[in-house]
Amino acid sequence: MVLPQETVDAILAHFDLPQSRSFTRLSGWANQNYLVQTQAGTEYVLKVLILQKQELLANDIAIQRQLAGVTQTPVYCVGPNGSVLFANGEIAAVISAKIEGVHARILSHAFAFEIGKALALFHTAVHTLPMPHQGWLNPLSAKRARLWESSEPVVRAAQRLINENTALLTEGLLPVGIIHGDLHEQNVLVASQAQPAVIAIMDFEEAEQNLLLLDVARTILSVCRSPQGTSLLAHNMEQLVQGYETGRAMTSLEREKLPIAIRYVIGVDVIWLVQNGFTAEAAEHLARAAALPAIGQ
């Protein structure tokens, strides 16, 4: 469902912004996003909260502040009442000025290197969250996914991946910090398709305290996939890790357990995808687990 123009204009008015000239629905799974151009010619990104809880906006704001001066990130507009939230009982939304840049369309090894750098930047800059959160990579979420009753073969296969790999991730001392939880090509902006340097990071609703390695694995799963989507590209995976290590060196244990982390992430991702109706994407994820290449060899 696309928002009616009167609702878009009501949101703009709430933040003392000019009325809309045009607006376009953007891609997005967890929330609804719109690019809005006002009568004054300025552009904003309007986000309608669907799966993101309103109280977790406090985490978004905290991350925005910690990334300030380090990289660009959306900064929510503040209304006359001092709140970043528009809520009318039917929808809840935030709005921020559009950042100039584009989403990468080609998942090249150069882009993998750059998004690895961006992930390390996030891990080294963001240290605190005001609101505890359990994202889909959280062990408690994985436990619920493991116990979810379903006869779907894809779900059963995903649950086996979780069962086989969860315990292996708790062996040894893997570094913990604040993870993004959902870094992929739609949650960053690059300078241009020809210059895939990441200039902005966004969408922090899955941010939580967790193993940093799981964030590396989640990003590899998202941006190192083959054009067919059914396998991961070893060279791109290695480039992502090399880009990451320009900002934060991985431990030898993290390197050793990276394939385990990828399989764990595939398991929890598949169940989230099935539960939210993305069955084709879930099948692609499982295919990547079956054809997981080695890296660094």
Q: Does residue 297 surpass a pLDDT of 60?
A: no
Say if CB 198 and CB 124 are below 8 A apart: no
Q: Which CATH architecture best describes the domain 109-290?
A: Alpha-Beta Complex (3.90)
Q: Does residue 188 surpass a pLDDT of 80?
A: yes
Compute the average pLDDT of residues 132-143.
92
For residue range 113-130, list pLDDT tens digits in order. 999 999 999 999 999 999
Length of the chain: 297
Give the side-chain half-sphere CA count within 13 A for 4. Answer: 4
Q: Which band of pLDDT confidence, cut at 50, 70 and 90, is reported for residue 245?
A: very high
Tell me how far apart the terminal alpha carbons of the chain are, to the nearest angstrom: 48
Compute the average pLDDT of residues 121-146.
94
To 10 degrees, what angle do helices 139-147 and 153-169 make? 140
What class, spelled out in words, does domain 5-97 have in CATH?
alpha beta
Give the side-chain half-sphere CA count within 13 A for 243. Answer: 26
Q: Which band of pLDDT confidence, cut at 50, 70 and 90, is reported for residue 199?
A: very high
Confidence (pLDDT) at 228:
87
| CA–CA distance, 288 with 90 (Å, rounded to integer) | 39
| CA–CA distance, 95 with 89 (Å, rounded to integer) | 17
State the Cα angle at 17 between 30 and 57, rounded to 5°.
Answer: 35
Say if CB 198 and CB 115 are below 8 A apart: yes
Confidence (pLDDT) at 171:
76
Say if CB 112 and CB 221 are below 8 A apart: no
String of DSSP letters for the chain: -PPPHHHHHHHHHHTT-PPEEEEEEEP-SSSEEEEEEETTS-EEEEEE-SSS-GGGHHHHHHHHHHHTTTSB---B---TTS-S-EE-SS-EEEEEEPPS-B--SS--HHHHHHHHHHHHHHHHH----SS----TTSHHHHHHHHH-----HHHHHHHHHHHHHHHHHTSS---EEEE-S--SGGGEEES-SS---EEEE---TT-EEEEHHHHHHHHHHHHSB-TTSSSB-HHHHHHHHHHHHTTSPPPHHHHHHHHHHHHHHHHHHHHHHHHTT-HHHHHHHHHHHHTPPP---
Confidence (pLDDT) at 21:
97
Query: Average per-residue pLDDT in the chain?
Result: 94
Question: What is the residue type of 291?
Answer: A
Percent of the residues in the chain that have a pLDDT greater than 90, as a whole number = 83
Compute the average pLDDT of residues 249-267.
96
Q: Does residue 218 surpass a pLDDT of 90?
A: yes
Percent of the residues in the chain that have a pLDDT greater than 70, as a whole number = 99
| CA–CA distance, 217 with 215 (Å, rounded to integer) | 5
**SS3 per residue for 138-164:** CHHHHHHHHHCCCCCHHHHHHHHHHHH
Q: Which band of pLDDT confidence, cut at 50, 70 and 90, is reported for residue 293?
A: confident
| Domain ranges (residues) in the chain | 5-97, 109-290
Q: Which band of pLDDT confidence, cut at 50, 70 and 90, is reported for residue 229?
A: confident
String of DSSP letters for 23-38: EEEEP-SSSEEEEEEE
Confidence (pLDDT) at 296:
60
Over its C-alpha atoms, the chain yields an Rg (Å, rounded) of 19
For residue range 25-68, list pLDDT tens digits in order. 987 777 899 999 999 999 999 999 998 999 999 999 999 999 99
